[in-house]
Amino acid sequence: MASKKTTQKIEDEEIVIDAQEEEAGIEDLPGVGPATAEKLREAGFEELMTIAVMSPKELGDQAELGEAVASKIIAGAKKMANVGGFVSGVSLLERRSEVQKLTSGAAALDELLGGGFETQAIVEVFGEFGSGKTQIGHQLAVNTILPIAQGGFDGEVFYIDTEDTFRPERIAQMAEGAGLNPDAVLDRIHVARAYNSAHQMLLVDEIKRMSKSIDVKMVIVDSLTSHFRAEYVGRGMLAPRQQKLNKHLKELKQLSDVNNALVLVTNQVMSNPGAMWGDPTKAIGGHIVGHASTFRLYLRKSKGGRRIARLIDSPNLPEGEAVFTVTAEGIRE
């Protein structure tokens, strides 16, 4: 990648600087000797970008460093990774040009999302029970394994299962539906059952560590909110719950940015029988989840086993709807 960048026009300073950054590693940070570098590496911090977006307390806790040392390291990483200030539109466009899109298997749904499910993004899929959230998770996991020419990512999947609804048999069925070898697909989907919200958050750290040796292109959290909702009950718990969720989402977003990966989170709706007009349902987690998600898809059941997906609050796409069905082979038009 660096060599590709250095061949670009020399007068374009941004791009030349980018190429130099890729050479720099954690050893080049001020105040980082071999021992500290080892601590950082063990805690999963190998890229400057990952360090640059941490808070001193978080980095200190996770890498077992003093807060003052962590703070100095972060400042260095910010300078070297050039994330502390403004970047030109050109380099933003260049980053956007790395975005890849994953097919869902249903053309109308892909079209609703401007060509598929994007990397460098969090997609929130929310809706009532049985609306198809878990089925979409399974299907996108399978499609991630597809070759790029067939709308896949040819990469690996991390699946955080909080409700014990991941089914390898269903993956095998969908793999066959996509013309893939079921065992080969299952081999590239890494699943962990999260037992509570703290465990769920720890699993993201684990993915960060494993992404050093595995090409992670997709992270699924099904469901994002169920543990948080069950554990943080009552009025006084709302603020701490939202804070934790916010931190969790930030870490997920970081994973998607650093790995050019897609993050899919599912979310239930609270039924709101008091609502007289409009949709009588609201996503759990409210503003925090909505704000952190790049794309939000609201699913609802329709006649004849059909499902309707509605795109909500997209940064650059019109709102709209797409119809799809869940068949034995998977998600289809």
Binding site for ligand GTP (CB under 6 A): 127, 129-135, 165, 170, 268, 305, 326-328
Strand-pairing partners, residue 157, are 189, 218
Given ligand GTP, Mg ion, none, residue 56, with its beta carbon under 5 to 8 Å by kind, binds none
Given Mg ion, ligand GTP, none, residue 268, with its beta carbon under 5 to 8 Å by kind, binds ligand GTP
Given the complex with ligand GTP, which of 91 and 165 has the nearer CB atom?
165
Helix axis angle, 56-63 relative to 34-42, nearest 10°?
A: 90
Q: Amino acid identity, residue 210? A: M
Q: What is the dihedral of CA 59, 65, 69, 71, to 10 degrees?
A: 10
Given Mg ion, ligand GTP, none, residue 132, with its beta carbon under 5 to 8 Å by kind, binds ligand GTP
Tell me the HSE value of 92 on the side-chain side, using a 13 A CA sphere.
6
In this structure, the number of other CB atoms found within 10 A of the CB of residue 276 comes to 6
Given Mg ion, ligand GTP, none, residue 226, with its beta carbon under 5 to 8 Å by kind, binds none
Cβ 33 to Mg ion shortest distance, Å: 48
| Selected range binding Mg ion among 30-38, 83-91, 143-151, 162-170, rule: CB under 5 A | 162-170
Cβ 133 to Mg ion shortest distance, Å: 5
134 binds Mg ion (CB under 5 A): yes
Cβ 302 to ligand GTP shortest distance, Å: 12
* CA distances to 47, 68, 244, 276, 328 from 293, in Å: 24, 32, 15, 27, 30
Given the complex with Mg ion, which of 7 and 271 has the nearer CB atom?
271
Euclidean distance between CA atoms 228 and 238, whole angstroms: 10
Cβ 289 to ligand GTP shortest distance, Å: 15
Residue of closest CB approach to Mg ion = 134
Which residue, 224, 240, 4, 52, is CA-closest to 133?
Answer: 224
Given the complex with ligand GTP, which of 65 and 326 has the nearer CB atom?
326
User: Could you tell me where the beta strands, DSSP code E, fall in the chain?
Assistant: 101-102, 117-118, 121-127, 156-161, 189-193, 216-222, 262-267, 269-271, 281-283, 295-301, 306-312, 320-327, 330-332
Pairing mode of beta strands 121-127, 281-283? unpaired
Given the complex with ligand GTP, which of 15 and 219 has the nearer CB atom?
219
Given the complex with ligand GTP, which of 281 and 327 has the nearer CB atom?
327
Given ligand GTP, Mg ion, none, residue 55, with its beta carbon under 5 to 8 Å by kind, binds none
Strand-pairing partners, residue 330, are 327
Cβ 185 to ligand GTP shortest distance, Å: 16
Cβ 136 to ligand GTP shortest distance, Å: 7
Contact residues: Mg ion, CB under 5 A: 133-134, 165
